[in-house]
Structure 1
């Protein structure tokens, strides 16, 4: 059963904190309502995950909604990173309580939460800067100097393989969102102007092809990352969602990821973040 979620028009950039929280939660649900995404949970199947499904991810997104609103409100009040981090910790605890200790959205709490804070700040002061630039300027140094998670799979892979990971991505203003995902969204809309799910599939493929996803490194090591990037690149090279039979090719890649227990969770988070930025950006 699909999740009946649609937006009809570009929302007003000056959403209040409550609306921003709802919108961030919606973007997480739209990521779930995207198939075929290689190895990832969707409304069709569980991908390479045995411990979660679409219903659980949507429950997690609902649970996080008020925390995203709180982060937006904190941003509007000029909060520093310590306060944002405390809200993020509370959000993670609530998520784990709701999901019975399954990590559904730890990465999204961090990345999407910072974008919510930046959106709240931007609306409060009325400046015209990108959300990514605001995150980098206001909190970038504290993001890099703050405590490092020792338990997340992404953090372990970052240390093992020297990948920058989510902290570097945020501190630099989310280049994977602005330089990879947003252009991919725009290009895919030209090829599939009436199919937003197809647009999300192609954007996810572009992210997998170009991002060093630490979730892939954790699950498949360097070989798994290379396989994933080559598979996504091959899909794009023959025209992506603009080519005949693209759904079958994407589904075949999805099945190959599942067989190898590969799941690009970092790319999934970046897709949700790109959807958020795409509809709110200057």
Structure 2
């Protein structure tokens, strides 16, 4: 009985973190307008998925995020986390009929959920930035893990010889610590509503990240165009500017015309929102 009582808080906290992860992905899905990305109102630049596809994927992943939180709380080895992630990919693909809706989030958000749970269970601080750094405990295993050379993101990564999300994770997600989280914190502190703050942060990420989804769809020229357009949006005030919403919708139409979709930046946005929300749990 004592063992059960001692274990219960870990289960409760892991379940909370798992629910926050799913809620963060849902917040990203519900966000609109988003250039080239799926929203509840349109498919963006995607012919093979819509909001329903993402919701089916989220339903299939709800147990994964709770499970990987519990594994993190139990200080499970990276091999266990990787197995959970691969199983989650299979569940996602079965739920979506083979459509990759959340592979990037399964990786990055899964690692951050596990790291947050581990920090809490070991009595360490769990600020957003500290959780990012905590992912570095798995750096060696991350870099040694095999990659799928046939995935679109890995093909783009190899072709253009740039670092990908695995390198970000191994380094403790510096893009989240130095860019996304400060941007989101400042936007919220300045009084922007959640939707505006998230859109502003998304465009900041698009302007500065080597998004593999953009590279896969548009090559180096497409990535350069997307980053330039996002940078111009931010330079003109971003979501702080009057009339930002119709301007972002117009920019979204231009992304769709070029079939560009910044899915990597969207994953980082969901991770950022999760990291802020878990601080209050």
Listed as ranges, the gaps of 5+ residues in structure 1 are: 1-13
Structure 2 CA distance for aligned equivalents of residues 127 and 190 of structure 1: 26
RMSD of the alignment, in Å? Answer: 1.4
Residue of structure 2 in register with 1:184 after alignment: 183
More helix by share: 2
Structure 1 CA distance for aligned equivalents of residues 36 and 91 of structure 2: 26
TM-score normalised to structure 1 length:
0.92
Secondary structure of 2:261 counterpart: coil
Find the partner of 1:228 among 226, 229, 251.
Answer: 226
Contact 1:38–1:253 (8 Å) recurs in 2 = yes
Structure 2 CA distance for aligned equivalents of residues 220 and 259 of structure 1: 11
Residue of structure 1 in register with 2:78 after alignment: 81
Are 2:216 and 1:218 equivalent residues in the alignment? Answer: yes
Q: Deviations over 1:200-246 (max 9, x none)?
A: 11110000001000110000000000000001000000111111111
Counterparts of 1:33-112 in structure 2, within 5 Å, are 33-112=30-109
Secondary structure of 2:104 counterpart: helix
Residue of structure 2 in register with 1:7 after alignment: none
Q: Deviations over 1:156-209 (max 9, x none)?
A: 111111111110011111111111111111222245x25211111111000000
Structure 2 CA distance for aligned equivalents of residues 275 and 207 of structure 1: 13
Residue of structure 2 in register with 1:132 after alignment: 132
Structure 1 CA distance for aligned equivalents of residues 178 and 192 of structure 2: 24
Residue of structure 2 in register with 1:146 after alignment: 145
Structure 2 CA distance for aligned equivalents of residues 127 and 18 of structure 1: 19
Residue of structure 2 in register with 1:171 after alignment: 170
Structure 1 CA distance for aligned equivalents of residues 72 and 118 of structure 2: 5
Are 2:236 and 1:245 equivalent residues in the alignment? Answer: no
Find the partner of 1:280 among 275, 278, 281.
Answer: 278
* Alpha-carbon shift at residue 115 of structure 1 (Å): 0.6
Contact 2:20–2:277 (8 Å) recurs in 1 = no
TM-score normalised to structure 2 length:
0.92
Contact 1:33–1:197 (8 Å) recurs in 2 = no
Structure 1 pair 226–94 and aligned structure 2 pair: CA distance change class (3 A): same
Secondary structure of 2:255 counterpart: helix
Contact 1:88–1:110 (8 Å) recurs in 2 = yes
* Alpha-carbon shift at residue 281 of structure 1 (Å): 3.9
Structure 2 CA distance for aligned equivalents of residues 188 and 128 of structure 1: 24
Structure 2 CA distance for aligned equivalents of residues 181 and 266 of structure 1: 13
Q: Deviations over 1:108-163 (max 9, x none)?
A: 00000001111111111111251111101x10111111111212211111111111
Structure 1 CA distance for aligned equivalents of residues 71 and 110 of structure 2: 11
Residue of structure 2 in register with 1:10 after alignment: none
In the alignment of these two chains, the number of paired residues is: 267
Structure 1 pair 110–202 and aligned structure 2 pair: CA distance change class (3 A): same
Q: Write out the 4+ residue segments of structure 1 that deviate beyond 4 Å after TM superposition.
A: none
Secondary structure of 1:16 counterpart: helix
Structure 1 pair 281–144 and aligned structure 2 pair: CA distance change class (3 A): farther
Structure 1 CA distance for aligned equivalents of residues 199 and 108 of structure 2: 20
